[in-house]
């Protein structure tokens, strides 16, 4: 794509993951010439994701206020990307071997219910997770025994119908009661990538460079005084596109680092010192043709990093399932968590994991871990032992700002004096909040006027691309992306999609 000179300010965004793409959508809509650079062939192709953390109930260890923040962020991001969501509940079970009790989580769930109720009272369009009073429900052992006798429904429409396969397949003697059923939905990475692509294609101020490597960034208009006086007003981005032999460059008025686990590389180029960690993680794709129809997501709690870490079984259409097992034999790795040091802001993952990220998994270890994932789930869902591996995984490096590897809520760091921002999203749901913070910074710098209809449209979620695209349009692009990345086409779909921004749902295979 050829660059054009415009009188408006020019923004450079490095990294086309969820953060970079979402920030680009936000800035381009405000009329800023937004140049987005992504190393891979398509946007949003990063570490494993599958779950909209609308309340953060997977994480017993994080504070209640972080869970409320995740709830708010998820509702916000869902309204930007409504056709990425699989509308089905998540079942949380505490295993009998665990020291915790289901009742320990009830105060948090009540806090989240109240927070959701308040958000709906503020704006009725926030009611995207069903009725607030239905945010969570409890199921006793007796109720599950009764449901186990019921005929399974292929396309559930009530919570009881969703719980029939849980009652039939979960080993009811290995979990404590009650089971918790929460309206935390699925989040489809292929549909998220498709939605971002469609949104940016509609923005004439968005200039997308995929399959493009950024080689360096250099300040070209700066005052190199003391830390207090040091300032930069322009950056030069040098880059090379895969289909050309020549290097290119562009000058921008503001630089945004959204490079995910490679964020520290740009920090080093810019000269910003920061502490962070990077964790290599993987989830595994399996096929189970004996599920009898649609089932909810099933979470079995456990202590992260131990041999009995949390198990997560996430359903997709067509009998495909994604598995996380938070032990070092499955999703986590013995040497997969690394930290930065005084010499560099970029943590160095072991060479083997960088090989997986750059070139793909080697067949033998992928097969072995995929089978271990099946065995892990089968401890609690015995008939899942018949599932088979499909030779693919969702994996990558995840950045964690600071030195706390339990951190689940983070957004962006701003350096106004050098016109630089760094997106630090542990969870993809915080990317729209990060975009807002960047916009506020650009308003303060005089780049844009914050009191414009275009800016207000964001807060009422009047996203232009949603007026011209629906679930069917997203499905077509998502299927192309799934095929391009080597995943089953069925995984590009959802069983129950949001078909209107009012929160109605439809069944889609």
Closest CA to 32 of 53, 13, 11, 46: 11
Nearest 5°: the CA angle 299, 305, 308 is: 55
Closest CA to 472 of 438, 449, 440, 497: 497
Report pLDDT for 166.
Answer: 98
| Mean pLDDT for back-to-back runs of 10 residues, the chain (509 residues) | 56 96 96 97 88 86 89 94 96 96 96 97 96 97 98 94 98 98 96 98 97 96 71 96 92 96 95 92 95 94 94 96 96 95 95 94 95 98 97 91 61 91 84 94 94 90 93 96 96 85 45
Give yes or no for a contact between 508 and 475, defined as CB atoms under 8 angstroms apart: yes
**Largest separation between any pair of C-alpha atoms in the chain:** 75
**In b/e form, how buried is each residue of 206-237, taking b as 16+ CB within 10 angstroms?**
bbbbbebebeebebeeeeeeeeeeeebebbbb
User: How many other CB atoms are found less than 10 A from the CB of residue 58?
Assistant: 22
Report pLDDT for 427.
Answer: 76
Give yes or no for a contact between 113 and 132, defined as CB atoms under 8 angstroms apart: yes
Which residues are CB-contacts of 264 (< 8 A; sequence separation ≥ 6)? Answer: 274, 276, 278, 340, 344, 345, 346, 347
Report pLDDT for 1.
Answer: 40
Question: Which residues, listed in sequence order, are joined to residue 343 by a DSSP beta bridge?
Answer: none
Closest CA to 297 of 109, 494, 89: 89
Report pLDDT for 249.
Answer: 97
Report pLDDT for 405.
Answer: 58
């Amino acid at each position: 794509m050829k660059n054009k000179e415009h009188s408006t300010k020019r923004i450079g965004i490095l990294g086309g993951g969820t953060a970079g793409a979402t920030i680009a959508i936000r800035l381009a809509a405000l009329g800023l010439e937004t140049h987005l650079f992504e190393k891979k062939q398509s946007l949003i192709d990063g570490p494993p994701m599958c779950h909209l953390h609308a309340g953060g109930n997977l994480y017993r260890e994080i504070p209640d206020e972080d869970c409320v923040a995740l709830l708010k962020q998820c509702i916000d991001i869902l309204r930007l990307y409504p056709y990425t969501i699989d509308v089905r509940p998540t079942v949380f079970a505490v295993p009998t071997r665990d020291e915790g009790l289901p009742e320990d989580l009830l105060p948090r769930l009540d806090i989240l219910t109240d927070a959701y109720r308040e958000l709906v009272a503020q704006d009725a369009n926030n009611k995207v997770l069903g009725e607030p009073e239905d945010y969570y429900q409890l199921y006793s052992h007796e109720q599950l025994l009764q449901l186990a006798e019921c005929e399974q429904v292929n396309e559930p429409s009530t919570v009881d119908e969703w719980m029939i396969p849980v009652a039939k397949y979960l080993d009811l003697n290995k979990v404590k009661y009650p089971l918790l059923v929460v309206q935390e939905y699925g989040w489809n990475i292929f549909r998220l990538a498709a939605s971002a692509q469609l949104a940016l294609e509609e923005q004439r101020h968005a200039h997308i460079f995929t399959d493009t490597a950024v080689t360096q960034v250099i300040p070209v208009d700066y005052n190199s005084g003391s830390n207090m006086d040091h300032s930069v007003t322009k950056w030069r981005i040098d880059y090379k596109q895969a289909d050309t032999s020549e290097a290119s460059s562009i000058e921008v008025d503001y630089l945004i680092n959204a490079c995910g686990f490679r964020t520290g590389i740009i920090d080093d180029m810019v000269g910003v010192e920061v502490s962070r960690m990077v964790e290599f993680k993987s989830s595994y794709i399996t096929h189970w043709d004996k599920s009898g129809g649609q089932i909810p997501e099933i979470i079995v709690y456990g202590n992260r990093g131990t041999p009995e870490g949390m198990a997560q079984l996430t359903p997709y259409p067509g009998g495909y399932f994604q598995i996380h097992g938070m032990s070092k034999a499955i999703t986590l790795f013995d040497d997969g968590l690394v930290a930065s040091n005084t010499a560099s802001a970029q943590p160095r993952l072991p060479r083997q994991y960088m090989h997986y990220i750059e070139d793909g998994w080697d067949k033998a270890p992928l097969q072995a871990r995929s089978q271990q994932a099946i065995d892990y789930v089968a401890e609690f869902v015995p008939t899942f032992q018949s599932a088979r591996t499909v030779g693919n995984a969702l994996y990558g490096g995840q950045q964690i700002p600071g030195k706390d590897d339990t951190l689940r809520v983070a957004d962006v760091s701003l350096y106004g004096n050098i016109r630089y921002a760094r997106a630090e999203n542990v969870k993809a749901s915080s990317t729209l909040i990060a975009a807002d913070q960047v916009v506020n910074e650009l308003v303060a710098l005089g780049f844009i006027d914050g009191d414009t209809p275009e800016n207000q449209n964001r807060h009422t979620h009047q996203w232009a691309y949603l007026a011209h695209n629906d679930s069917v349009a997203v499905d077509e692009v998502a299927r192309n992306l799934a095929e391009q990345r080597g995943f089953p086409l069925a995984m590009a779909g959802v069983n129950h999609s949001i078909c209107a921004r009012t929160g109605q749902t439809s069944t889609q295979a």
